[in-house]
Amino acid sequence: MARKKAVKVLRKQKKRESIQRFTQKQNIGRACLTAKEFRLLQRMSHSSKALRNVGLYTIKQSYLNNKKMATVKEVDTAMQTDTNYWGMQSNSVQAIRRALFTEVKSFFKALEQWKKKNETFTGRPKFPNYSRSTDKRIIEIYQVPKVDDNGYWMIPMNVAFRKKFGSIKIRMPKNLRNKK
């Protein structure tokens, strides 16, 4: 019995550590960014919101005109024609598209359930809303950042965007530098 309790305590400690690291990664930034880097981060987050809105508009128009959801290829071509596409890294754009499709698929699933049993819902399910430019948005980076010897890590971005505007280096907290 004592052995099982020790394992459970160890699991709880691991969970607590991972949650702590996650929240610390969330709060990195304000004190260690210059004004130029902060504006670059704002521009990148605005680009991610704009790309999400472009994809959502494409899906919405396909639903209104054809009564079916747009394909991944249609959404990709619409996103690629947008001017904000070149500022984002390709895996970030894919993450935005994936998140958008999960939102829209859940809407269609809820709509089907509403058509079968509308008593279980308080009203008709609504299509996902567009992102407002004033809303906060997280830039989703699906890449492990490389931390240099001084404890800085660069936010991965498109090569052309980095050449035009420069890169962003964020200082990692001391307690996270050697953790993997």
CA distance 160 to 86: 8
In a domain, 24, yes or no: no
Indicate the pLDDT class of residue 75, thresholds 50, 70 and 90. very high
CA distance 128 to 143: 27
In a domain, 2, yes or no: no
Higher pLDDT, 155 or 62: 62
In this prediction, residues 156-163 reach a mean pLDDT of: 80
In a domain, 155, yes or no: yes
**Tokens coding 27:** 């709060």
34-53 tens-digit pLDDT: 778 778 878 888 888 889 99
In a domain, 107, yes or no: yes
Q: Which domain holds residue 113?
A: 34-176
CA distance 76 to 85: 10
In a domain, 80, yes or no: yes
Q: What is the pTM of this model?
A: 0.71
Q: Is the pLDDT confidence value at 26 over 70?
A: no
CA distance 78 to 70: 11
What's the structural domain count of the chain? 1
In a domain, 13, yes or no: no
Rounded to the nearest integer, the mean pLDDT of the chain is: 77
CA distance 40 to 19: 28
In a domain, 42, yes or no: yes
**Tokens coding 60:** 């919405």
92-142 tens-digit pLDDT: 888 889 989 999 999 999 999 999 988 888 989 999 999 887 766 666 666
Among 49, 42, 51, 110, residue whose Cα is nearest residue 78: 51
